[in-house]
Amino acid sequence: MKINNYYKQYLTKLLKIPQSSSKIKLLFSPTDFNKELIYSINKARCRIYIVLLYFDCDRSGRLILDTLYKAKKNYYNLDIIIIVDLHRAKRNRLGNIDTVTNIDWYYYIAQINSDIEIPIYGIPISNKEYLGVFHLKGFIIDNKVIYSGANINDVYLNKLNYCRYDRYRIIKNKLLADTLVNYINQYLLTAKAINRLNNINNKKIIINNIYKLRKTLRTANYHYLGTINYNKLSIIPLIGLGKFNLLNKTIYHLIYSAKKRIILCTPYFNIPNILFNSIVDVLNLGITVEIIVSDKTANDFYVSKKNNNFHIMNIIPYLYEINLRNIMIRLQNYINHGYLVIKVWKNQCNSFHMKGIWIDNEWCMLTSNNFNMRSWRLDLENALLIYDPQQSLTKENNIELNNINNYTKLIKHYNDIQIISDYPSKVRNLINKIQKINLDKIIKFLI
């Protein structure tokens, strides 16, 4: 198939970092992820780089930060750096009326540990949070990379009566760890827009510095001495900001490279047109596409009818569901013939935060990217693309997929999804209002 071979050649030419299958470990629960994180911090002797959207002041956040300070105290030369999104650190979670922000907490902890230096930095990808966030993910601990979409708080680390499920990989690979750290040192820590959050000399946000950083990051990629045409287990680190970045381009080529089956997993269903069109193209070639999405009640923006703290952002899960139903209407014929499979994930009161792509048991992408319009254009995203031509990780990948599918429901027809008139009155009235003034089109671009 010529179209398949063309896109396959693109993937073949990507620089690859050789990886031993015995040095990749999959975890399948947030509890195990929490244990592994604390264990790895305690064992660290050289460096700990924590890069994520937010690091919250709650029981889990306090425990992790306390563990980091103890590690630094025991090994003074241990290099510890934490980087989060600046705008997210300056505000509380939606619905939280507490006036103490994460930045206040970072500063307080730094003051009571004044003899221990652990810098916490904030990165502004744009001058407003809704125009783009620092969405990189990864924990680099010595020569180990712990990759997950999870942030640090009680929900992600399963310290409440509910949790947010994600994907978790522990990868031992010095070149990979060095590559991720070098990017941080070269492009982030040297940026004038970066802000030290846990000292009194917080800089003012200078919009021009943010523009310069954003311009730099649009073309900045991971740099490493990889191999081309490597036909064994390997990893390709990817990063990108803006519509035409390398990560987006690789996702696009991945879809077209499929021979038999694609599985795409995302909590937020708001697929860009370019991905929608590519999915339709491969469906026409007879390739099976399986999409696993969050049920609206398993979305982290969802609030129940009993919750009186309704915020405008709480309509987002309903907007995602409307998107899903509209797409199913357009593609119902493919669903009827078994080429397109739609599954919705729901597990009690837990929420769903898994994202990634699996292609023919040969490619597996771990990513921060939600495959939505926001990730495609506005946010700084990264990914680890695992190339496994000998299918040495198939067993573990199938276990992960089976664990996900244990809580999915197959949706065979768009009529199986609720319509706007089925929604609670607050949600229904608000959606009707924003649709009348076409505000839903703007919101769709930003969520």
Given the residues 36, 56, 135, 321, select the one marked as catalytic: 135
Q: What is the pTM of this model?
A: 0.95
**Residue 33 to residue 302: CA distance in whole angstroms:** 24
Q: Are 151 and 164 in contact (CB under 8 A)?
A: no
Q: How does residue 52 score in pLDDT terms, banded at 50, 70 and 90?
A: very high
The answer, yes or no, to whether residue 108 has pLDDT greater than 60, is yes
Q: Indicate if 98 belongs to the active site.
A: no
Lowest mean pLDDT among 165-179, 287-301, 433-447: 433-447
The active-site residue, picked from 166, 321, 388, 400, is 166
Report pLDDT for 301.
86
| Residue among 56, 290, 295, 381 flagged as catalytic | 381
Q: What is the band of 91 on the pLDDT scale with cuts at 50, 70, 90?
A: confident
Q: How many H helices and E strands in the chain?
A: 14, 19
Residue-level pLDDT at 92: 72
Is residue 47 a contact partner of residue 78, using CB atoms and an 8 Å limit? yes
- Quote the CA–CA distance of 312 and 337 in Å, as a whole number: 38
Q: What is the pLDDT of residue 97?
A: 58
pLDDT single digits (tens) 258-276: 999 999 999 999 999 999 9
- To the query of whether residue 381 is one of the catalytic residues in this protein, the response is yes
Tokens coding 66? 């306390």
Q: Could you tell me which residue, 393 or 230, shows the higher pLDDT?
A: 393
Nearest to 83 by CA among 158, 159, 185, 179: 185
- Whether the pLDDT of residue 443 is over 80: the answer is no
> Using CA atoms in the order 153, 158, 164, 170, what is the torsion angle rounded to 10 degrees?
80
**d(C-alpha 89, C-alpha 163), whole Å:** 21
Would you state the pLDDT for residue 80?
98
- State residue 310's pLDDT score: 73
Q: Phi, psi at residue 36, to the nearest 5°?
A: -65, -40
* Mean pLDDT in residue range 366-394: 96
Q: Any catalytic annotation for residue 87?
A: no
The CATH code for residues 22-219 is 3.30.870.10
Q: How far apart are CA 171 and CA 26, in angstroms?
A: 9
Q: Is residue 404 predicted with pLDDT exceeding 60?
A: yes
Task: Give domain limits for the chain.
Answer: 22-219, 234-446
Calpha distance 325→30 (Å, rounded): 30
What per-residue confidence (pLDDT) applies to 10? 92
Q: Both tokens of residue 126?
A: 């744009």
Contacts of 36 (CB under 8 A, 6+ apart): 27, 146, 168, 170
Tell me: the pLDDT tens digits for 327-359?
A: 999 999 999 999 999 999 999 999 999 999 999
Residue type present at position 168? Y
The predicted model gives 82-100 an average pLDDT of 81
Q: What percent of the chain has pLDDT over 70?
A: 94
> What pLDDT is stored for residue 431 in this prediction?
86
d(Cα 75, Cα 41) in Å, to the nearest integer?
11
Residue 337 annotated among the catalytic residues of the structure: no
Is 70 exceeded by the pLDDT of residue 197?
yes
Tell me, yes or no, if the two domains 22-219 and 234-446 fold the same way: yes
Residue 202 phi, psi (nearest 5):
-60, 130
CATH class of the 234-446 domain in this structure? alpha beta
Q: Are 367 and 355 in contact (CB under 8 A)?
A: yes
**Is pLDDT above 60 for 115?**
yes
